[in-house]
A and B are shown apart, each in its own frame.
Chain A
Amino acid sequence: MYKLAMHRLGHSALLIFGVVTVIFFTNFLLGDPVRVMLPASTPPEAVEEFRRQMGFDRPILVQYWDFISHAVFLDFGDSWWQKSPSLEIALRPFPATLQLGIVAVALASILGIGIGLFAGARPGSLWDKLATSLSILGVSLPLIWFTLMMALIFSVWLGILPTAGYGTAAHMVLPVVTLAALPLGRTVQITRASIIDELAKPYITTAHSKGLSERTIILRHALRNALPPIATEIGWESALLLTGYSIIVESVYGWPGFGFALYHAILTRDMPVIIAMAFVAAMVVVFINVIVDIIYVIADPTIRKK
């Protein structure tokens, strides 16, 4: 158990380091940051002066060392666009996205596991066909288009929901529903498949012969054993939603979250912020992996003994 934990810790550190390094190098080797920061008609002397002030005239490895030696103390430098610490800019919009992500994932998981259970318990039934169709529809939705259509229908035509903004429950409906569609479809698929797999196993027959009710068998045994793949799936969906997948939804609905800030950082090529955001994203992934691991341990006691 201890060894496993240490192994995971090392893996996590490597993951964070790797992501940050890859992004640093692709961006500094392949793009020139200075030009973005000054208006087009700036005289060249002023540009060179600016480049020198920002320290971009130094060799790339020197810049990398400078960057990484500060980054270990969580100092990612100041944003080029806003003159404040980039980690702060990366973290500031995070709560709004967390709010959105938690509600969307919760909605998708509760509905998805519920529908998946029903469908998996009676494969081939009308319920199952409906659930399967729904899930296929969910995973086939082009998010860009779905987002725009939802705004058009519910805000403009029906006028029952605000088009953009943050702060009230009404503002949350459209972003949550659009973001939940895809995870819902996939959660239904995974739950259904896992339940079908479990119900075919010999222990279920044993349980039946013991006279346990179907409800007990499905909820107590099958679901519990099917939990790891479902947890992995939900963990993955959470990671996705919290690390920039919400970019389109947030910019269309004006939700001041992580995706919104990422969109802007990418448009302005604000490298310190992009790197700080990648760091935050990597941390989120690590954190979610830990939670998924814990669920695995709960679901499967044999891991605990290792």
Chain B
Amino acid sequence: MNMSKTASTTPGRPIRSVGRILRFLSDFSRDKYATVALVVFVVLVLSSIFANLVAPHDPLKLDLLNRLAPPVWVEGGSWKYIFGTDLLGRDILSRCIYGGRMSLGIGFAVILIGGTFGSLMGLLAGYLGGRFDAVLMRYIDFQISIPYFLLALTIMAAIGPGTKNLIIVLSIGSWPLFARYARSIMMSLRQQVFIEAARVAGGKEIVIMTRHVLPNILSPLVTLTSLELSRIVLTEATMSYLGMGVRAPTPAWGLMVQEAHDYLMIANWAVTTPGVFIMITTLSINIFATRLRISTDPLQRGKH
């Protein structure tokens, strides 16, 4: 949650023309860390989307005779199951690929629901101001001051685990951040001269919003979104691990770690592999977001 605080310390700066966007993109592509992180993340997303084509096995298919088979580089491992098998003889690699579909899917769903709703509310509050703004901000301050984890856990315990419930509960925890952030950007933009200029020049409100406002909030919003995404992936894993998230037999990373926990001393690959998948995901997102912030923030860019 507080990653957004990091992000919100750098309000958006106007990038007015297509040319500047292009310049930014070329800047960004010269940053090899960011590019690698982005490529890794895109590969993860693509393999999740096309899991049925990429995964070598059916993630639910049992092979009781080959259960707890070690990965290929350990003695006794085979190329059939590259990362080994779990306690029911299911292929760990395939489960991790499908697990990505679940974890990233939940992440994007939460961003989509929480992010869209939150951003809209925030933009509206910033644009309208007045009582709506005051009430909304009071509520958001209130919700943000509570560590949401305990609340989410108890609510999940009451309504029962499941993917849909998890998405709802995580979205409720996520939207205020987007709202507060979108509002702060709206507020700062309202005072920017160029909007005033556009208005004086007789621009319609909607045109002003789409042509001038939106491009300026896009880049910081991507930063916030990525940091939120990484946080949601971690929270989802924790909730699923505690049995308050995705339900078995659906493959999900946190669930895989939990199922294999008891086998840590016998078959540590069953714990390590999903753990590494989570780690690669969050690392790639975080590296990307950090570098993006650096390249869009002139203050920091100068120093690199």
- Chain A in direct contact with chain B (Cβ < 8 angstroms): yes
Interface residues of A (CB under 8 A from B): 11, 14-15, 18-19, 22-23, 26-27, 30-31, 123-124, 132, 136-137, 139-146, 148-149, 151-152, 156, 186, 189-190, 193-194, 196-197, 200, 229, 232-233, 236-237, 239-240, 243-245, 247-248, 262-263, 266, 269, 274, 277-278, 281-282, 285, 289
Partner of A229, one of B5, B142, B230: B5
A232 adjacent to B5 (CB under 8 Å): yes
Of B48-56, B150-158, B195-203, B212-220, the segment with at least 4 beta carbons within 8 Å of chain A is B150-158
Residues from chain B with Cβ under 8 Å of A278 in the complex: 150-151, 154
Given contacts A142-B254, A197-B299, 13 further A-B contacts (CB under 8 A): A30-B158, A123-B300, A140-B283, A140-B285, A142-B238, A142-B279, A148-B261, A186-B6, A196-B303, A243-B147, A244-B150, A263-B242, A289-B145
B151 adjacent to A19 (CB under 8 Å): yes
Residues from chain A with Cβ under 8 Å of B274 in the complex: 145
The 6 tightest CB contacts between A and B, nearest first, are A145-B275, A140-B282, A123-B303, A244-B150, A142-B278, A27-B158
B145 adjacent to A136 (CB under 8 Å): no
A274 adjacent to B154 (CB under 8 Å): yes
Find the residue from A140, A247, A248 having the highest chain B CB count within 10 A.
A140
B286 adjacent to A136 (CB under 8 Å): yes
Of B69-77, B118-126, B263-271, the segment with at least 4 beta carbons within 8 Å of chain A is B263-271
Interface string of B286-304 (1 = CB under 8 A from A): 1100100000000110011
* CB-nearest residue of chain A to B258: A144
A142 adjacent to B234 (CB under 8 Å): yes
Known: A26-B155, A140-B230, A282-B146. A132 touches B290 (CB 8 A): yes
Residues from chain A with Cβ under 8 Å of B146 in the complex: 15, 19, 282, 285
The answer to whether the Cβ of B110 comes within 8 Å of any Cβ in the partner chain is no
**Smallest distance from the beta carbon of B261 to chain A beta carbons, Å?**
6
Partner of B5, one of A124, A190, A248: A190
Partner of B150, one of A18, A142, A148, A281: A281
**Smallest distance from the beta carbon of A81 to chain B beta carbons, Å?**
14
**Binding site secondary structure of chain A:** helix
**Smallest distance from the beta carbon of B226 to chain A beta carbons, Å?**
12
Residues from chain B with Cβ under 8 Å of A248 in the complex: 238, 241-242
| A27 to B151 Cα, complex, angstroms | 11
Interface residues of B (CB under 8 A from A): 1-3, 5-6, 9, 141-142, 145-147, 149-151, 153-155, 157-160, 230, 234, 237-238, 241-242, 244, 253-254, 257-258, 261, 264-265, 268, 271-272, 274-275, 278-279, 282-283, 285-287, 290, 299-300, 303-304
B300 adjacent to A196 (CB under 8 Å): yes
Residues from chain B with Cβ under 8 Å of A136 in the complex: 283, 286-287, 290
| A11 to B230 Cα, complex, angstroms | 31
**Smallest distance from the beta carbon of B246 to chain A beta carbons, Å?**
13
B286 adjacent to A140 (CB under 8 Å): yes
Residues from chain A with Cβ under 8 Å of B234 in the complex: 142-143
* CB-nearest residue of chain A to B7: A193
**Binding site secondary structure of chain B:** helix
Partner of A156, one of B1, B3, B159, B265: B265
**Smallest distance from the beta carbon of A132 to chain B beta carbons, Å?**
7
* CB-nearest residue of chain A to B276: A145
Residues from chain B with Cβ under 8 Å of A144 in the complex: 237-238, 241, 254, 257-258, 275
Residues from chain B with Cβ under 8 Å of A200 in the complex: 299
| A278 to B300 Cα, complex, angstroms | 41
**Smallest distance from the beta carbon of A149 to chain B beta carbons, Å?**
7
| A1 to B274 Cα, complex, angstroms | 52
Q: What would 21 A/B residue contacts be, using CB atoms closer than 8 Å?
A: A15-B145, A18-B142, A124-B304, A136-B290, A139-B286, A140-B285, A142-B278, A148-B275, A149-B271, A149-B275, A196-B299, A196-B300, A197-B299, A236-B2, A243-B149, A247-B242, A263-B242, A266-B153, A278-B150, A281-B150, A285-B147
**Smallest distance from the beta carbon of A162 to chain B beta carbons, Å?**
16
Residues from chain B with Cβ under 8 Å of A247 in the complex: 153, 242
Residues from chain A with Cβ under 8 Å of B230 in the complex: 139-140
Find the residue from A136, A194, A197, A263 having the highest chain B CB count within 10 A.
A136
**Smallest distance from the beta carbon of B262 to chain A beta carbons, Å?**
11
